[in-house]
Amino acid sequence: MAQMSGAQMVVEAMREEGVEVVFGYPGGAIMNVYDEIYKHKYFQHILTRHEQAAVHAADGYARATGKVGVAFVTSGPGFTNAVTGLATAYMDSIPMVVISGQVPLSMIGTDAFQEIDAVGISRPCTKHNFLVKSAEELPLILAEAFYLARTGRPGPVHVDIPKDVTAQIAEFDYPKEVRLETYKPTIKGNARQIRKAVEAIANAKKPVFYLGGGIIHSDSADLVRRIVKATQIPAVETLMARGTLRYDDPMLLGMVGMHGTYAANMAMSEADLLIALGPRFDDRVTGKLSEFAKYAKIIHVDIDPSSIGKLVHVDYPIVGDLKAVLEEMAPLIEQKIDPERYEAWREILGRYQELHPLTYEDSDKVLKPEWVIQRVGEKLKGKARISTDVGQHQMWTAQYYPFTRPREFITSGGLGTMGFGFPAAMGVKRGVPDEISINFTGDGSILMNIQELMTAVEYRLPVINIILNNNYLGMVRQWQTFFYDKRYAETDLSMQPDFVKLAESFGGVGYRVKTKEEFDKALDDAISKGVVALIDVVIDRYENVLPMVPAGGSLYNMLLEYKD
């Protein structure tokens, strides 16, 4: 095939991989690549205003579409700025390829200008990384990077390319297929284990589906809905699995964990069998491990063997792609399981749901964040993608928004990255342009990537940022209220910009609202105008996220209310 420069190989590889958009920021070491972007225009390049935002945007794009997100950054600070984005994607298993420039090979190790040991830094926060040593090996490395990112347990892959490699001329022969001797993810689950697991379900009295993010990654929500319907076994969702079941599915007990519902947490605590589909037993879900699901046998299906038995003993481990496993499992389940069997269990859980439903006290004096989220849900349910930043607003959204489908909810779960929401929502909008892209954020989080107003306005990515503004770093404030005798160390954010003027100065539209009527008007206006918006919603300063399992506590010991 053709002879070309390493830089051209990069853009040709993007074309081979069907990449339609790259988020990035140029700089010295990656200029050769940007020159080829300029010449070829194979894909749209979106210039964010910070490298961290470029990676979060690629991440949001990947979460919304299921495709591999791509970001380009330069060496040194360009790369170090991207690290938070890599770590965010790594913790949530998001398929992504991040390409960074590097100083020329001959200068590596000399502390050259904008040199940093990029692969040394990215090693613990990527699925894999590469330092490219010559243009000859570049096509294979790029093909492997995409292959690794999207197969097995997905994750971000980082490719560091020295500047002289992008200038070298070599043969470009892009591999049609990648095969790695040392990497062969298990897809099909062990048939005997699957049969034993189905047997365990058939013999259980109090089973619970524990639904995790793996369902979203493997696109198996339809299968999960099918087996939940067939078995009538109650289900709980982790933060990352929201949308697997419709919000109004009678079998859905809600989110589980630190801010899970009473019924979901009690179901886990009293169950005699957990059917764990693609979760990872995160500490925010399990609470105190020795008390977690202590009466339950555990079935755990996961594509990553190291996830199984990492924290909790598993009785029926099944390694495999969730979709492939569920395809085997579903017919067996439909054949063997009689939903009548769990009637008494459903009744107990139904009573728990009635006893302590998810609830808040509405007010006509001040806006409640839960109301705002429910209101957006009433208007946009099933028609919008919902991103969040990190903190109280994130938990309220996870609790109160009526999710209808997978990939509807985009949030940084594992790393908990403030500043994720807005750039991610831009990537979401780019990935699914026909849907409304909402970002629920806080007055703390929004300022962590506020410069992206410029990107969103420039590329017409009309993200509607709904700032649930309590003039506090709310989640930390809540912990200080509960556990630190209200010593509010460095959480008061009363010093704030004028968000309306701020939005306007970038060419967006800003609203400040204090009442339900004002909120409705602002949201309707932002949607009808199709603009980049900041809706600054003044909410109750002291609203807490409840229920709450204090960190390290047992799931069944929830704070259900807080009275001053």
Partner 1 sequence: MKIERRVISVIVLNEHGVLSRITGLFAARGYNIETLTVAPIPGSKYSRLTIVTSGSPRVIEQIIKQLHKLIPVYKVIEHSELVEKEMVMAKIPLEERLSDVEALCRAYNGNIVNIGKDTAIIMAADEPSRIKNFIEALKRFNPKEIVRSGVVAIER
* Residues with catalytic function: 51, 113-114, 163, 475
Report the nearest approach of partner 1 to the CB of residue 159 (Å).
13
Residue 115 touches partner 1, criterion: CB under 8 A: no
Residue 428 touches partner 1, criterion: CB under 8 A: no
CA angle 133, 139, 143 (to 5 degrees): 115
First-to-last C-alpha distance (Å) of the chain: 73
Report the nearest approach of partner 1 to the CB of residue 280 (Å).
13
Joined together, the tokens standing for residue 396 give 């309220």
Joined together, the tokens standing for residue 382 give 């099933």
Which of 39, 310, 486, 521 forms a contact with partner 1 (CB under 8 A)?
A: 310
Under DSSP, is residue 497 helix (H, G, I), strand (E, B) or coil? coil
Contacts of 330 (CB under 8 A, 6+ apart): 223, 226, 227, 230
Quickly count: other Cβ atoms within 10 Å of residue 391's Cβ: 26
Residue 181 touches partner 1, criterion: CB under 8 A: yes
Answer yes or no: are the C-beta atoms of 83 and 123 closer than 8 Å. no
Backbone angles phi, psi at 101, to 5 degrees: -75, 160
Please provide the DSSP assignment of 276-290 as one string: EES----HHHH-SGG
CA atoms of 296 and 274, how far apart (whole Å): 6
Report the nearest approach of partner 1 to the CB of residue 372 (Å).
40
With 0-12 CB in 10 A as exposed, 13-18 as middle and 19+ as buried, what is 423?
buried
Complex with partner 1: residue 139 or 421, whichever CB lies closer = 139
Report the nearest approach of partner 1 to the CB of residue 553 (Å).
23
Stretch that binds partner 1, among 13-21, 46-54, 253-261, 304-312 (CB under 8 A): 304-312
Stretch that binds partner 1, among 200-208, 238-246, 306-314, 340-348 (CB under 8 A): 306-314
Complex with partner 1: residue 149 or 453, whichever CB lies closer = 149
CA atoms of 312 and 322, how far apart (whole Å): 19
Residue 148 touches partner 1, criterion: CB under 8 A: yes
CA atoms of 448 and 451, how far apart (whole Å): 8
Complex with partner 1: residue 119 or 170, whichever CB lies closer = 119
Stretch that binds partner 1, among 6-14, 175-183, 366-374, 504-512 (CB under 8 A): 175-183
Quickly count: other Cβ atoms within 10 Å of residue 511's Cβ: 22
Complex with partner 1: residue 133 or 246, whichever CB lies closer = 133
Report the nearest approach of partner 1 to the CB of residue 183 (Å).
5
Buried b (16+ CB within 10 A) or exposed e, 447-456: bbbbbbbbbb
Report the nearest approach of partner 1 to the CB of residue 319 (Å).
10
Which of 167, 180, 191, 355 forms a contact with partner 1 (CB under 8 A)?
A: 180
Residue 128 touches partner 1, criterion: CB under 8 A: yes
Which residues of the shown chain bind partner 1 in the complex (CB under 8 A)? 119-120, 123-124, 127-128, 131, 133, 148, 180-183, 304-306, 309-310
